[in-house]
Structure 1
């Protein structure tokens, strides 16, 4: 086991946040979710990310309070989404131990972790236990703890406001890491970021598409950076459309969209197209003449005009049209014919075979690698796990809509849009069942109900 320098920094800041109070700890935890390429602790071939280590401080800071502990336990009732997430995690943990042994040798897998078998030239091995059968259940337990804790904290007015601020801070810090990635690459000082690029992943920090360098920020590859930036864009852009903290959220949303496009990720580019349509549909439902509706009204009126003007200009300039077409063709239209696209298609083909060969039960959580989140669910935890997840996500999207156009309702709406964005990216290129802590922060916020709490002394108004 190796305790890394970023781990020492995480512990130090965690202790400081504990001294400052639980709201500082919530803020610190959400911001630490940006460090997707870092490992606070290395255990053999496994990584403990800083956010997962900081989750311990979040649990200590929040669940030692009786009221928040009650809120957390309440979130696990059968009528709450937390119960179905608990069922998913429980089944996933059991499947990670039982299924690779029950169906050992019955099919071939693309292993997510290290295997006792030698891989063929196609990268497949006979089904059996792999190292990620241990790490993935731990990550999923972390997701459950994150969801329950965020939902508990968000059920207080001050906690709800803190989480909202923390997510905006996350989006800003993520942009800063993207800018640092570009700056260090341009100046030849990439080693300055090695402290947050120490995880035992395959890094793609020197790749380019044409003459454009791929941006990875604080993530291992451009696809991960684009997916997380797109989620931040979805949240801040929706908040801006709703007229909430417009100056801050509007600027961050615009810059996030720019970084998604510049990241040269096909996942990000395709996901951005989907989210722009979703956001325009949201704007149509929120336009009006009152001041709080001006942002949405401006988008409804001017977005089609802007698209038409840009489209006409691009068509009229042949060299610009050719460059944009080549860019889109490289990232999306011809993606399936590239070595990366063929490899990902092969992973999905093998994963589908795993699902069928195990009679719909799956090969066990963390056993195999895919390139699409639905196939990760089906091939890893089968039909039972898929059903648990579908009930959970349906309750996340359907719960606590509340009175329209209140601060809490608008933030919950923005959190749902962010969850949808993460799901879109996962469908396009999700390798595992674990969707990351940030997804469950948004899901927990979407289910929180601060309206149930009476305003307490010192609690900020929700606005």
Structure 2
């Protein structure tokens, strides 16, 4: 076992936060998932990310030092989304163990992770793979994260701590994106190597349309864009609702710019969907005595700005050609690229595995895909997909809180953050695991009681 420099930093921050209290601990935990390309601890070729390592400190804080284990358990089991998530994890673990053995050699798969003996197209006969264990661990960590955030955020003070922690995650993601943008030819390249030490293939020097792709603290541009889309949904909604509006507005704009600059096809294709979600939110949030100026401005100005942009493109042939060339390279010509053809073959293989397994799935962590929807169907089948959809419905989609209070607005922001992250995953997600940041936002959303006000509205 080896402890990396980022691991030492994680351990030091964890100890300091435990001494400072539950607030700093949950805020720090919300930030650490930004290190998606880092390994805090290394066990051979397997690494533990800083976010998962810091989850241990959150457990100690919530169960031993600053909380009550019985209250955490009671709060979790009283929550319907927790039950559905437990069923997803249990089914995923069971099918991940039995399906590759019972159906061994009956079909070929594109395995998740490096696998010796892969044939043409990267396929191997179905059988147990390392991803069955690692994805089970990740999904269990997601369950623990959701249950802890759900319990911690059940008090107004801690609810605000989680909300601020997610803002800090957005700030950290923007910071590393900007650092990556300006790093070539500077000592910053060496500093970034300390948070890009996991056993992934990093795509830090790829060029698209003559521009170097931005990956921030993540392994590739699509992962950076996916995290940034979650920030767009969360911070954009906070700005629309007038909550923490100076910080949230800045992070929203910066994240939108960085998504486009990252040249990630999934990010550029998904960003308009995220903006449409925010526009729909503005329609419901504007008007009345508690309507915000930002929501009204979005409702009125967005259509005008869109028409003005189209008008400028029509008048300026040079600008139109530049925009068209950029969109052609990143989106329009993407389906014919080698990477798109490869990812398309992953999805085709995954759908074939879904039908060949009679809709039950070939096991959690068995198959690599290029869409979250296909990952669900191929890995955990119809039962697992139903469990996830019920978790999403009861924990994220159903209305919560008294409308236009601080809790309801932050919960709405967490909901939109989850939806925007799913948009990115549907385009390019390769696994069932949506990451810790998704379940932090889902836990925060689920912590808002349905139709009940936690406390008087907190001033922004």
Instruction: Give the TM-score band, short-chain normalised.
Output: over 0.9
Q: 1:229 to 1:296 in 2, by over 3 A?
A: same
Mark the CA change 1:408 to 1:5 in structure 2 (over 3 Å): closer, same or farther. Answer: same
- Give the TM-score normalised by structure 1: 0.95
Matched with 1:148 is: 147
Deviation at 1:69, TM superposition (A): 3.0
Alignment of 1:23-422 (within 5 A): 23-64=23-64, 68-77=68-77, 80-115=80-115, 118-187=117-186, 189-288=188-287, 290=289, 292-399=291-398, 401-422=400-421
Indicate if the aligned counterparts of 2:34 and 2:173 stay in contact, CA closer than 8 A: yes
| 1:212-252 deviations in Å (ceiling 9; x for gaps) | 11000000000000110111011000011111111111111
**1:298 & 1:461 partners in 2: Cα distance?**
23
Larger mean CA deviation between 59-68 and 37-46 belongs to 59-68
**Unaligned ranges ≥5, structure 1:** none
- How many residue pairs were aligned? 459
Secondary structure in 2 matching 1:42: strand
TM-score by length of 2: 0.96
**Shift, 1:291, TM fit:** 6.9
Q: Distance in 1 between matches of 2:291 and 2:282?
A: 12
Distance 2:245 2:188 in 1: 35
- Deviation readout 1:315-340 (Å, 9 max, x if unpaired): 21111111111111221122110011
Q: Is the 8 A contact 2:76 2:150 kept in 1?
A: no
Contact 1:241 1:296 in 2 (8 A): yes
Distance in 2 of aligned mates of 1:376 and 1:76: 27
Shift of 1:124: 0.4
* Equivalent residue number for residue 16 of structure 1: 16
Aligned-partner Cα distance in 2 for 1:400–1:72: 23
Show CA shifts across 1:251-275 (max 9, x none). 1111111111111001111111101
Within 1, Cα distance between the matches of 2:43 and 2:67?
36
CA distance in 1, matches of 2:91, 2:401: 32
Contact 1:22 1:61 in 2 (8 A): yes
CA RMSD of aligned residues (A): 2.0
Deviation at 1:360, TM superposition (A): 1.1
> Structure 1 residues 449 and 66 mapped into 2: Cα distance closer, same or farther (>3 Å)?
farther
Alignment partners' CA distance in 2, 1:177 and 1:398: 31
Where structure 2 has 5 or more consecutive residues not aligned to the other structure, the ranges are none
1:187 Cα deviation after fit: 3.1
**In structure 1, the residue corresponding to 2:404 is in which secondary structure?**
coil
